[in-house]
Structure 1
Amino acid sequence: MFHLGWFTTFSNPPWNHAWAGTEGRDWPRGRAHVEFVQALERACFDYVMLEDSSMVSDAYEGSSRADLAHGLYAPKHDPVVLAPLLAAATSRIGIIATASTSFYPPYLLARRFATLDHVSHGRAGWNVVTSSEDRAAQNFGLDGLLPHDERYERADEFVDLVERLWESWEPDALALDRDRGVHVDHTKVHTLDFRGKFHASRGPLNLQRPPQGRPVLCQAGGSPRGRDLAARHADTVLAMAAGPEQMKEFRDDVRARATAAGRDPDDVKVMFVTSPVLADTVEEAQARAEVARTPDPVKIEVALAHMSAVTEIDFSAFDLDAPLGDLQTNGHRTTLAQFLRHGRTVREAAMGWLTGNAHYVGTPETVADAMGEDMAAVGGDGYLITGNIGRRFVSGITDGLVPALQRRGLTRSEYTHETFRDNLLEF
């Protein structure tokens, strides 16, 4: 069996097509996301992961025009605020929210996610990011981000401190002893006096240990430094790969790093991002995929504006049909590398990157077979679906593909455990 998650964000669902309804205007209330996550829970997804960023990008053309016209990085709401709303409307699915180690104080983050783990009855997760945009840093009073590897060094210390804060209360510190009049046993709550290169905190937290011991940790760094961070701390890792060979290479590498860090590699679930194209027949699905792959000016601008935002390289300045050179960034290095692999020219790379996650095209039955074969070749651990959260696309996954996977015994058909972590580590 393998796991299923969904990668999305607290921003606008598709708003400019015939099936959009009023969601383009109504999404800020969170109702569309509640209904979406309820559909995932009915299909027994392990988790939903809510991506985030903290800026209006003007990297493309030196203007916010493309970002705002296409709704790329804004408008976007805070996923940490959405998480308890999703938790209240569900009972088993894990809810992962993104928060940056570059902008949060460690104590505040530790307290916030511990609280979320309590109110969700042990279903909270934290997606650990270092952020990748100077424009985001400038919203927090900084001139720019630290260099890439230093951000990860800082993040490593940050996560270590947060984990210690979650452990500052022993599991049985809450006494509730009426006879002695003792609410909490003070001998089981411990200060840290943590002082590192980047962070310091006296501790302890002022709330008891989270129900899961610690919320589930998620990480998406694909660079060597990012993989090290994931191997040391993450329970689930997001990965982008073009096919089974790349998938296996990535998973084997992360597992080897986890072993070197003294962890059981089976405790690190690597989830591969994909956006299946489904239809009633293989031919219809292939036709849909071909439409998605057909270049047009809007698609190319969306791809290049996205890439400009996360790398802070202005791709509007490039000749679309000129060869791509050797580009460097202090932002998303792995995303840039993926982009550069998708084509020889800017135009080819843009279209290849925009459709690069659609590894699986066909009917629910043929896609289920292909996903099962690939996962067997890779060795595990699961897939992270991405794509718009409009009802039409979501239903194709939850009511078409997932039942086909369940019939083959490839994914769960019920939740066995109460907490997110226990379900994630079940197999």
Structure 2
Amino acid sequence: MSKKMHLGWFMNYAPPQWLDPFDRVNTSWTNADFHIEMARMLEGACFDYLMIEDTLMVSNAYGGSTEAALKHALQVPKLDATVLAAAVAKATTKLGVIATASILSYPPFTLARMIASLDHLSDGRFGWNIVTSGEEQAAHNVGLDALPPRQMRYDMADEYVDVVTKLLASWEDDAVVMDRDTATFVDHTKVHEVNYVGKFYKSRGPLNVPQSPQGRPVYLQAGGSPRGRQFAAETADSIVAIAQGIEGMIDYRNDVRARAQAAGRNPDDIKVMFLVTPVLGDSAEEAEAKRHKMVNTDAFITGQLGMISTVTDIDFSAFPLDEPLPPLTTNGEQGSLNKFTQGGSDKTLRELATTETGFASCLPLVGTPASVATQMAEAIEAVGGDGFLLTTPIQHLSRRYVTDITEGLIPALRDLGAVRESYEHDTLRDNLRAF
């Protein structure tokens, strides 16, 4: 029997596939019907969670214009992730639902109130994907003159999570008594002020929401740089990981587990989820042909470069497609940049944009369901855990793609004993810690 793996799905509340005449959806995506249908399919396949990504801008990073972002629907139009999380939570019963919310978007009190409410609404299945935002334009949209330096953003995030966590704990779990004999709904002695005063944030508290079913929602984080990994190791219940191949996955997981151990945490309480983009077919040749069709178009290459420009604030339209890139650094998402450039590879920009369906995949998972399942199971055995966060190539989220996974790949993984066949628990945190 293979080592069991956890599974999540990385998704945007944005338009699904809209170009393929056999697979496109119409404007109904905005009412969440498509995404709710997808969530129910993932729940049927016993995924741990659906993670809904979010950003705060219409990017003009590629070519100094919003044209590429708007023309190719690159993270825009996009609706609010927390709104979709609420809809999905009420349409499912076991699937974890994680929404992205940036520390730039909300005062800590407002964020704590929102995520506690969503944990109640989902009966303990909600999680918060903690992001600092890495886009200059996002900072401008929330009233800042400039995006804070990356190191400072993590310092801010440390403090932000600290005050949010204290606010979430400001109600004891038995504060709500509903005692009819004394006409007492809440025991006021079990609700406490926080009186938090830090370098960046302050909040009096207490929260005006009772303690939520999980005590606090699950925390998800993606850390690529050493400082990001440190923040994730100290904070997260689950980590979105981007690494290069098996050796990179081993190094990443060992690193964050060592950091967690040094911070006094049990590393087994943190589930590292490696981002992958499987492409499936009835044969290896069909899967490769499907991958080739996906990536070898001008629209796909522009989309890839537009996306990596957005998250790194580097204008990749300025570089020749058929030449290697010069050394690059960013105040944006350094981990995404490192993965995209493959650690300073001498590949051309075109090759980087079309390799393994782009920068989102830690492994080249292209083949039949059985062969891809075997690759995934062998990878988790080699790495030691914990699971995979599946996503789609840009512009290719569709019912057909989700069906390939839930009705093709998942049964193949179950044949190997590599994934759960039913949920062990009712809350997201308990399911993450089930194995």
Same fold (TM over 0.5): yes
Aligned amino acid, residue 386 of structure 1: T
> 1:123 offset after TM fit, Å?
0.6
Aligned amino acid, residue 275 of structure 1: T
Q: How many residues align?
A: 425
Q: How does 1:200-219 map to 2 (within 5 A)?
A: 200-219=202-221
CA distance in 2, matches of 1:120, 1:64: 36
Are 1:104 and 2:112 an aligned pair?
no
CA distance in 2, matches of 1:90, 1:337: 36
Which residue is 1:271 aligned to?
273
Which residue is 1:338 aligned to?
339
Structure 1 SS opposite 2:206 = coil
CA distance in 2, matches of 1:170, 1:62: 51
> 1:121 offset after TM fit, Å?
0.4
Aligned amino acid, residue 261 of structure 2: T
Larger displacement relative to structure 2 (318-327 or 396-405): 318-327
* Aligned residue among 406, 428, 433 for 1:425: 433
Q: How does 1:78-117 map to 2 (within 5 A)?
A: 78-117=80-119
Which residue is 1:377 aligned to?
382
Aligned amino acid, residue 20 of structure 2: H
> 1:362 offset after TM fit, Å?
1.6
Which residue is 2:369 aligned to?
364
> Do the aligned partners of 2:150 and 2:331 also contact (CA within 8 Å) in 1?
yes
The TM-score normalised by the length of structure 1 is 0.97
Which residue is 2:5 aligned to?
2
Structure 2 SS opposite 1:8 = strand
Are 1:123 and 2:125 an aligned pair?
yes
> 1:292 offset after TM fit, Å?
3.6
Which residue is 1:49 aligned to?
51
> 1:147 offset after TM fit, Å?
0.2
The TM-score normalised by the length of structure 2 is 0.95
After superposition, the C-alpha distances for 1:273-306 in whole angstroms (9 at most, x for unaligned) are 1111111122222332333454x42222112111
* Aligned residue among 365, 390, 395 for 2:398: 390
Q: C-alpha root-mean-square deviation of aligned residues, in Å?
A: 1.3
> 1:360 offset after TM fit, Å?
1.3
> Do the aligned partners of 1:36 and 1:389 also contact (CA within 8 Å) in 2?
no
Q: How does 1:32-47 map to 2 (within 5 A)?
A: 32-47=34-49
Which residue is 2:317 aligned to?
316
> Do the aligned partners of 2:277 and 2:357 also contact (CA within 8 Å) in 1?
no
> Do the aligned partners of 2:10 and 2:391 also contact (CA within 8 Å) in 1?
yes
Which residue is 1:170 aligned to?
172
Larger displacement relative to structure 2 (359-368 or 348-357): 348-357
Larger displacement relative to structure 2 (252-261 or 300-309): 300-309
Q: What percent identity do the matched residue pairs reach? A: 51
> 1:350 offset after TM fit, Å?
2.2
Which residue is 1:284 aligned to?
286
After superposition, the C-alpha distances for 1:181-205 in whole angstroms (9 at most, x for unaligned) are 1111111111111001100001110
CA distance in 1, matches of 2:419, 2:169: 33
> 1:355 offset after TM fit, Å?
2.8
> Do the aligned partners of 1:343 and 1:349 also contact (CA within 8 Å) in 2?
no
> Do the aligned partners of 2:352 and 2:358 also contact (CA within 8 Å) in 1?
no
* Unaligned residue ranges in structure 2 (runs of 5+): none
Which residue is 1:355 aligned to?
358
> Do the aligned partners of 1:19 and 1:392 also contact (CA within 8 Å) in 2?
no
* Unaligned residue ranges in structure 1 (runs of 5+): none
